[in-house]
Amino acid sequence: MNLSRILLPMLALTIAMPALADFKMGYVNIERLYREAAPAVAAQKRLEQEFAGRDGELKQLADKARDLKQTLDKGKLSANDRKSKELDLVSIEREFQQKQGQLRAEFTTRRNEEFASVLDRANQAVLDIAKKEGYDLIVQEAVYVNPKHDLTERILKAMDN
C-alpha cells in the first residue's frame, strides 16, 4: 500500500516530464506596464491635464475652509459672527465633500477608459510575442516568478514601437 503511494506519483511525473520539457511560459508585470509604457504615461498626462482645473478648485475650497477654521479658532468673533462663520464652514465642507466625490468618480471612470486601451495594446503585444516565439502560457499575475520568465521589458519595447 505504501509503495503504491510513492510509485504512482513517480510514474505520473515520469510520463508528464517529456510534455513539460517542451512547455514554454512567460510572465508580464501589468502594473509595471501601467507605470512605464509610453501609452500609459501619455494617458496619465492626459488625465492630469483634464482634471487639473477641478483639482485646483478643490484646493481653493480646502484653503477657504482652513482659513475659516483659523478665524474661528482665534475666538475674537461676536456670537453672531461666529454662528455665521460656522454655518459658512459647514457649507464649504459639504460642498468640498460633494465635489471631491464627483471628481473621484469621474477620474476613476476616465482612468479606466484610458487604461483599457493600454491594456488592449499590451495584450496584443503579448499575443504577438507568444505566437512568434511559441509560448504555451503567459501570465500577468503570480506570487513568484523566476526573472528568466519575465517578458515585461520586451512587452514595453513592443508597446513603445
Q: What is the pLDDT of residue 79?
A: 83
Domain spans of the chain?
A: 18-160
Q: What is the DSSP string of the chain?
A: -HHHHHHHHHHHHHHHHHHHHT--EEE--HHHHHHHSHHHHHHHHHHHHHHHHHHHHHHHHHHHHHHHHHHHHHT-S-HHHHHHHHHHHHHHHHHHHHHHHHHHHHHHHHHHHHHHHHHHHHHHHHHHHHHHHT-SEEES--S---GGGB-HHHHHHHHH-
| Region 18-160: CATH code | 3.30.910.20
Global pTM reads 0.69
For the cut 90, the answer to whether the pLDDT of residue 9 exceeds it is no
Residue 4 scores a pLDDT above 70: no
The chain-wide mean pLDDT, for the chain, equals 88
pLDDT of 51 > 90? The answer is yes
In tens, the pLDDT along 91-144 reads 999 999 999 999 999 999 999 999 999 999 999 999 999 999 999 999 998 888
